[in-house]
Amino acid sequence: MVVYLALGVLLFAVAIALLAIGLRPAEEARGINRSLAVLQAMTEAPRELSAELEKPFADRVLQPLQERALGLGRRISGADSADRIRKKLDLAGNPAGWTVDRVTAGKVLGAGLGLLFALALGAVLVHSPTTRIVLCGVGLVVGFFGPNLYLYQLAYDRSAKLQRELPDAIDLMTISVESGLGFDAAVQQVATNTEGPLADEFARMLREMQLGMGRGEALRSLSERADVDDLRSFVSAMVQADTFGIPIAQVLRVQSGEMRVKRRQHAEEKAQQVPVKITVPLIFCILPALFVAVMGPAAINIMDNFGG
């Protein structure tokens, strides 16, 4: 009787095991089918639901951050900040991708990055709370005015290039006018056959004239976009010649001679500044090394004699 009971329990256990083994593939198949159904639902989702996830990182994160920074920058800056930034962009040559809104947002983002960098630097190198506060203030100010400093440097370099290129451009215009071309055609020759910021400015002036702006107004707009005294004097002479009917060739020749004299004087001024500028590295860099090389062996001999 006990043997039959044990045999029955064993058969019952074997039956349960076989049933579990038989049902397992069905459960796995159902799990796979559910996963495939989820994937199909995600791939076949409406365009409105999947469009947000398909946007690039710049559109999902950077653009909203820039918009918030732009709103904060407009509240912090003055009412005429847009005009001042636009003037700086014109002086810098309107770099590609730089707009008034981007500069305003960049100032706020730069202030935040400068503050974070100052906090990290203070936590690693500085132990005094007062010094950390000062360092954070410096990082905040430098980050906020960083775009302005960058635009100022671009404008300075561009003004230097304009001043160097102006005498050669006036010579080319003089030759073109004396050969029979009009002033507009001579300006077109400069814009076509030369490269640099001056050629770009002349090309922009010609486009403005083609759009209906007068020659005098286009020339004044050119002088306002470039902070160069020589270019302003040239524009003033051209406007007066156009107003009073003075021959353009004569005015261009006089302007060419004056520009070359000014360039020669500027080169002589720079040459006279060299002795003054070289004094600082001479005193702090060259003379100490010379003293070490000349007086070093004598100092060592004196120390050895006194020590002996």
**pLDDT at 4 exceeding the cut of 60:** no
Q: Which residue has the higher pLDDT, 44 or 177?
A: 177
Q: Are 255 and 219 a contacting pair, CB within 8 Å? A: no
Is the pLDDT reported for residue 283 higher than 60?
Answer: yes
Residue 23 vs residue 8, higher pLDDT = 8
Q: What pLDDT sits at residue 22?
A: 47
Which residue has better confidence, 242 or 268? 268
Asked whether residue 47 carries a pLDDT value surpassing 80, the answer given is no
Inform me whether the pLDDT recorded for 40 exceeds 70: no
% residues pLDDT > 90 (the chain):
0
pLDDT in tens, 84-97: 888 888 888 888 87
SS3 state of residue 211: coil
Contacts of 154 (CB under 8 A, 6+ apart): 92, 93, 95
46: confidence class by pLDDT, cuts 50, 70, 90? low
DSSP assignments along 285-304, one per residue: IIHHHHHHHHHHHHHHHHHH
Q: Which of these ranges, 46-50, 63-67, 101-105, 290-294, has the smallest mean pLDDT?
A: 46-50
| pLDDT given for residue 53 in this prediction | 54
Across 76-85, 179-188, 204-213, 281-290, least confident range? 76-85
CA distance 230 to 122: 48
Higher pLDDT, 257 or 2: 257
- pLDDT tens per residue across span 134-155: 888 888 888 888 888 888 889 8
Confidence tier at 38 by pLDDT (50, 70, 90): low
CB 168 within 8 A of CB 200: no
What single letter denotes the amino acid at residue 46? P
pLDDT, the chain, mean = 78
Write down the H helix ranges in 126-182: 129-178
Of the candidates 247, 222, 221, the residue with the CA atom closest to the CA atom of residue 166: 222
pTM, to two decimals: 0.67
pLDDT band for 28, please (50, 70, 90 cuts).
very low
Does an H or E element contain 270, and which? helix 248-281
C-beta of residue 144 within 8 angstroms of C-beta of residue 114: yes
pLDDT level of residue 285 (50, 70, 90 thresholds):
confident
Q: What is the model's pLDDT at position 3?
A: 47
Q: CA nearest 81: which of 106, 64, 63?
A: 106
What does the pLDDT read at residue 26? 43
Residue 2: other Cβ atoms inside 10 A? 6
Please, how many CA atoms are within 13 Å of residue 27, restricted to the half-sphere of its CB?
6
Task: Output Rg (C-alpha) for the chain, integer angstroms.
Answer: 38
Q: Which residues, in sequence order, are CB contacts of 15 under 8 Å at separation 6+? A: none
pLDDT of residue 27: 43
| Strand spans (E) along 193-261 | none
Q: What is the pLDDT confidence band of residue 39, given thresholds at 50, 70 and 90?
A: low
Section 287-296 average pLDDT:
84
Cβ atoms of 170 and 252 closer than 8 Å? yes
Give the confidence band of 9 by pLDDT, cuts at 50, 70, 90: low
pLDDT reported for residue 25: 45
Q: Spell out the domain ranges in the chain.
A: 2-52, 64-159, 167-270
CA 121 to CA 47: how far, in whole Å? 46
Confidence band, pLDDT 50/70/90 cuts, at residue 177: confident
Find the mean pLDDT for residues 33-58: 55
